[in-house]
Amino acid sequence: MDHISDAFKAIREQLPEMEYRTGEPMKKHTSFKIGGNVTTMFFPVTQNEVVKLIEILHGFGVKPLIIGNGTNLLAEDGLLNILAMKTYGGLNSIRLTDDAEITADSGVLLSKLASFALECGLTGLEFAHGIPGTLGGAVSMNAGAYGGEMKNAVMKTTALTPDAALFEITGDAHDFSYRHSRFSDSGDVILSSALKLTRGDPGEIKGQMDMLAKKRRESQPLNMPSAGSTFKRPKEGYAAALIEQAGLKGYAVGGAMVSEKHAGFVVNRGDATFKDVMNIIDHIRETVMRQFGIELEPEVKIIRSRQQ
């Protein structure tokens, strides 16, 4: 714990204007509305603040938890021995940098990015309009929906290594694959990305966005807290179909439940705990493996307390 308290003191001394909150509840920063209190959460508003923050933390051997909009996170309950940094709300610059190129900070919401592309008459991000996460999180996991993926648009990313060294990658160096990129497990911190789009008809772009939004409303439990798709798509079919075939639609533990609207979603009925959701995830994996011989891999990122 000394490393964290020493790092906190150094950050307060060297970045006195940066907003922070101690004992901040993760349930306030995740779409699941679940999670205990992190030691401290920082809210940088410039890339320079992020660089300095990561530099200080590295000096004390502390690995921060990077949060965008918290839409793919399930955090443990109780006290979390974690220093967190939230990009959404602070790192929000977005600009047209070429005729069909948009550059945006990692904390920009995908919905805002897609709307900006529409305003510019650019097509290629219609699929992203209803994804609730930030650009940084979306690039890190190669987010996608309805046949679209971030890898089809992202051309360049600026990031920091865990020891605060700035670097830039382009194209294939992102190592994109299904729900994965080189950033997924690297510990690097994404600062911004440039996306290459194409000119399109604003009316058609808007029509496609509206159609996909309607699909989401009709098929997904958008009115209940969740982390979106709970599992990655297996090679053998679809997770939601397997879960439904296993008879688990509506299966509940405590305040958590497999959505009756879409079996790929585990939802919080109001008072779900971390253990409730984990028990459902484990039960689904065991049941699907037993019935179909297929291993489901969680898409949601599990956050537990750390030993620093």
Active site members = 179, 229, 299
* Phi then psi dihedrals of residue 2, to 5 deg: -60, -40
Q: Name the phi and psi angles at 227, rounded to 5.
A: -115, 30
Residue of 138, 288, 295 whose CA lies nearest to 228: 138
CA distances from 53 to 31, 46, 161 (A): 25, 11, 12
Q: Count other Cβ atoms within 10 Å, centred on residue 55.
A: 15
What proportions of the chain, in percent to the nearest 5, are helix, strand and coil? 30, 30, 40
What torsion do the CA atoms of 150, 153, 158, 159 make, to the nearest 10 degrees? 10
Strands 265-268 and 226-229: antiparallel
74 and 36 Cβ atoms separated by less than 8 Å: no
Which residues, at least 6 apart from 91, have a Cβ–Cβ distance to it below 8 Å? 44, 45, 46, 47, 50, 105, 106, 107, 108, 136, 191, 192
How far apart are alpha carbons 127 and 256 in whole angstroms?
28
